Chain A
Amino acid sequence: MNIATPTKIQYEAIIGLETHCQLSTHTKIFCGCSTAFGTPPNTNICPVCMGMPGVLPVLNQTVLEYAVKAGLALNCHISLFSKFDRKQYFYPDLPKNYQISQYDLPIAENGWLEIELVDESGLNPVQKRVGITRLHMEEDAGKLVHAGSDRLAGSSYSLVDYNRTGVPLIEIVSEPDIRSGKEAAEYAQELQRIIRYLGVGDGNMQEGSLRCDVNISVRPIGQQKFGTKVEIKNMNSFSAIQRAIDYEIERQIQSIETNIPVIQETRLWDESNQCTMSMRRKEGSSDYRYFPEPDLTPIELSSGQLKNWQGDLPELPAQKRHRYVSSFGLSAYDARVLTEDRPMAEYFESVIAAGANPKQSANWIMGDITAHLKTTKQSISQLSINPSDLAELIHLIEANTISSKIAKEILPELLVHGGSPQSLIDQKGLTQISDTGLLMAAIDKVLTANPQELEQYRQGKTKLLGFFVGQVMKQTGGRADPKLTNQLLMHKLTD
């Protein structure tokens, strides 16, 4: 009998991200007000950012520099001619009733960024390029900090803090190349790394210096036409991005399968309920009635200026990951951990530059040193043990001057006080004993002191070898060369 099994339709998600990233300038994009976070409400405001009549905004040159550098780091084509436009919408967080942004001539376009995806065990890295459609400069809006209701008048109102108004942002729009929550989270994380490596922003998601909006639609695999696009906002961690997308993919598939149309709208991620909630119907882009900003001059860049800024770029995380694997023979996992932030990567590279073995250096940094930084809540730049000291420690182990056990014992002191490991072991008399005569003497002593165990060993209980090695170690204060001790003991016992 033939049973026709209904084939389950497979779906794919088409995802693009719009990321707003605050630039770490001292002053706002078009005026000299401070950008400091956490200052009393409405103190960092002036007639320019508050949109008083007759004022003239002037572009902060550092904003331009940072935006171009971010564009270059994202492999974009930088526009040699660029301009600002007004984006009109009425919302109380926007004092001018328009936002100064860039519309048809953004500063950077057509780039890409490489993400690395690993499986659950952290292995089998796969690289994927996500296209960057455009990157443009714009000003941030204010913040609605409190919504109350006036019971007497029966109306409700909001309170606004305009300190954030005019804080410089870059908006980075990705191509719809992303297919899962995991890829999106990895993309956002890589953007954060790049921004931090460049030093153009702090990428802090909790403070809102890095904000991701997600555009997502779902369609049956094989279908050409895109599904209806939904925007999701309000994710303030990478894992929230991943969970919000995974939730939304499921929600849209459910809608399609139960013949409920997916509506084009903006939804908010609700962290406490782990779901997305409808916020508002999306306005079409033509509703913003963009037009060129008449108060600001266009921007013309020379190729010489671009070359200078290109020359300022540091080696970026993806480049470092590749190099650590290909030149240092590290695993993809180690390379990812070490390149997570720039000071860590630079520390590692200095240890190698001082002549230490890369794999050993990676192990020390990712192991004991990272553990120490976590417990003391320090950053690697505050570490007392400098890279050349760590390289010396690794050398001492490789040269058999000290055992790795002794190295681990003296590390806490080095971590706190720094200094040369060689002089510390000299001072403490911790040099490894590799002298056959001295070791034999210690072995003889141990065997004489433990006649019972010796007898048992001779009767075939060879597991006791470890016991004897331990006793020799004890005898020498941990300084006996373990490998040599082993060999000598074996030799002695099989005599």
Chain B
Amino acid sequence: MLKPEEVRKVASLARLELTPDEEGQFATQLSDILTYIEQLNQLDTTDVLPTTRAIDGSNITREDHLTPYANPRLILQGAPEPEGEFFRVPKIGGE
């Protein structure tokens, strides 16, 4: 079972505010998920290299050629709070 302080740490890294009730709820849910995944440890992977991607290959690169995006304004307009030329965001505590 996940300890309450572990839940609080994960929540703070995710910038989530949890009530004590939610902490308990997530402790149970997260623990269930971890236990489920834990089953994978039954497999012996001693001689298996870690897989980071499903498709093999290496060195896929591109040349340093400018290909500007046609409509950067569109990205700005899609933001919750555009302000002039800028993206407006909530201020982070401690600044």
Give A contacts to B, CB under 8 Å. 25-27, 31-34, 40-47, 50, 52, 58-64, 83, 88-92, 145-147, 155-162, 279-280, 287, 289, 292-294, 296-300
Contacts and interface: CB of A to CB of B under 8 A. Distances in A.
A287 B13 contact: yes
B20 interface: no
Given A41-B85, A155-B90, A46 B61 contact: no
A32 B86 contact: no
B5 to A, nearest CB: 14
A3 B76 CA distance: 75
Contact of B59 (A32, A44, A300): A300
A44 B75 CA distance: 11
B58 A298 contact: yes
A147 B72 contact: no
Sorted from nearest, which 9 A-B pairs have the closest CB atoms? A32-B67, A46-B69, A292-B52, A159-B86, A92-B89, A61-B61, A62-B64, A41-B85, A156-B91
A183 B12 CA distance: 39
Nearest to A89: B13
A91 B87 contact: no
B17 interface: no
B75 A160 contact: no
Contact of A147 (B62, B63, B75, B95): B95
Contact of B63 (A61, A155, A287, A292): A61
10 contacts: A42-B75, A42-B85, A45-B72, A59-B62, A60-B62, A145-B86, A147-B95, A158-B92, A159-B88, A160-B87
Nearest to B64: A62
B66 interface: yes
Contacts of B81: 157
B58 A299 contact: yes
Contacts of B95: 147
B64 A61 contact: yes
A162 B61 contact: no
A160 B86 contact: yes
A311 to B, nearest CB: 20
A45 B64 contact: no
A215 to B, nearest CB: 20
Contact of A300 (B58, B65, B85, B91): B58
A41 B61 CA distance: 28
Contacts of B72: 42-46
A34 B68 contact: yes
B59 to A, nearest CB: 6
A59 B60 contact: yes
A434 to B, nearest CB: 60
A52 to B, nearest CB: 8
A401 to B, nearest CB: 52
Given A33-B68, A44-B72, A46-B72, A157 B62 contact: no
A280 B57 CA distance: 41
A159 B65 contact: no
A158 B91 contact: yes
B66 A32 contact: yes
B64 A60 contact: yes
Contacts of A63: 64
Given A90-B15, A161-B86, 15 more contacts: A31-B67, A32-B62, A32-B66, A33-B68, A33-B69, A40-B85, A47-B75, A88-B13, A157-B88, A162-B87, A280-B94, A289-B13, A294-B52, A297-B59, A299-B58
